[in-house]
Amino acid sequence: MTTNLSVNINKIATLRNARGENNPDVLKVAADCQRFGADGITVHPRPDERHIRRDDVFSLRPLVHTEFNIEGNPTPEFIDLVLKVKPEQVTLVPDAPGQLTSDAGWDVEANFEFLSDIIARFSEAGIRTSIFVGTDPDNIKAAARTGTDRVELYTKPYADMYPTNPENAVAPFVEASRAAHAAGLGVNAGHDLSLENLAFFHSRVPFLNEVSIGHALICDALYLGLEKTIAAYKQALIH
Catalytic residue positions, numbered: 44, 71, 191
Classify the phi-psi angles of 188: left when phi > 0, otherwise alpha if psi is within -120 to 50, otherwise beta: beta
Residue 71: other Cβ atoms inside 10 A:
27
Hey, CA dihedral for 139, 177, 34, 123, is it positive or negative?
A: negative
Q: Are 202 and 208 in contact (CB under 8 A)?
A: yes
Distance of alpha carbon 27 from alpha carbon 7, whole angstroms: 13
Contacts of 73 (CB under 8 A, 6+ apart): 92, 93, 94, 95, 96, 97
Q: For 197, what's the count of Cα atoms within 13 Å in the CB-facing half-sphere?
A: 25
Burial of 239: CB neighbours in 10 Å, binned 0-12, 13-18, 19+ = exposed
**CA distance readout (Å), 127 to 21, 52, 104, 149, 170:** 32, 20, 23, 10, 30
